[in-house]
């Protein structure tokens, strides 16, 4: 290593970057659909029985109406819960995608940084070599000038 050479920045190889795993688990789409369908199927059967109002006296009709209201509220709550789960799943997927893209960018930028550091070190070594060569040429010039001064000047007047 040359005196002017820049020390390198620690490098995180793509293999090391791949060892970083997210701290959460994202269920596969099929798993979600199975969960979603299992929530809807019992509901549909439940609603089918609840929504058929008995024909008969008015009091039974009023009691069933209350049950119908309750099942609608329950249906809305279940739909909201399913919607919230789906929204959370999409949010986790977006976050995981963004994290993957950021890691990819980190690996790319570190690679670029390594290349730039290598180029800078190469230029610094060339500069040191040229400065050393210039010093040698100055010394040689000074020697030649001294030799030139020692040579007697011949008189050409005669």
Residue 4 CA, distance from chain mean position: 34
Q: Which of 83, 72, 63, 67 is nearest to 43 (CA)?
A: 72
| Residue with more model confidence, 121 or 59 | 121
Predicted confidence (pLDDT) at residue 28 exceeds the cutoff of 80: no
Residue 106: predicted pLDDT:
98
pTM confidence score: 0.43
Mean pLDDT of 3-17: 51
pLDDT tens by residue, 68-117: 788 999 999 999 999 999 999 999 999 999 999 999 999 999 999 999 99
| Residue with more model confidence, 17 or 68 | 68
Residue 47: predicted pLDDT:
44
Residue 61 CA, distance from chain mean position: 60
**Segment of 3-7, 43-47, 110-114 carrying the highest mean pLDDT:** 110-114
Phi, psi torsion values for 3, nearest 5 degrees: -60, -35
Give the mean pLDDT of the chain: 75
CA distance 35 to 58: 39
Residue 66: predicted pLDDT:
65
Predicted confidence (pLDDT) at residue 151 exceeds the cutoff of 80: yes
Instruction: Report the share of the chain in percent with pLDDT over 90.
Output: 48
CA distance 90 to 72: 27
Mean pLDDT of 133-153: 94
DSSP of 24-64, one letter per residue? S-PPPHHHHHHHHHHHHHHHHHHHHHHHSPPPS-HHHHHHH
Residue 56: predicted pLDDT:
44
Predicted confidence (pLDDT) at residue 38 exceeds the cutoff of 60: no
């Amino acid at each position: 290593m040359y005196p002017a050479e820049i020390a390198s920045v620690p490098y995180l190889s793509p293999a090391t970057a791949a060892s970083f795993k997210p701290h959460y688990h994202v269920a596969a789409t099929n798993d979600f659909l199975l969960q979603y369908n299992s929530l809807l199927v019992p509901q549909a059967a439940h609603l089918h029985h609840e929504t058929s109002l008995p024909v008969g006296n008015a009091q039974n009709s009023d009691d069933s109406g209350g049950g119908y209201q309750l099942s609608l509220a329950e249906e809305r709550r279940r739909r909201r819960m399913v919607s919230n789960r789906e929204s959370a799943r999409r949010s986790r997927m977006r976050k995981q995608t963004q994290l993957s893209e950021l890691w990819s960018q980190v690996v790319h930028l570190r690679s670029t940084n390594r290349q730039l550091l290598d180029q800078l070190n190469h230029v610094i070594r060339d500069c040191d070599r040229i400065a050393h060569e210039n010093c040698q040429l100055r010394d040689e010039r000074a020697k030649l000038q001294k030799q030139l001064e020692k040579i007697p000047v011949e008189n050409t007047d005669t």
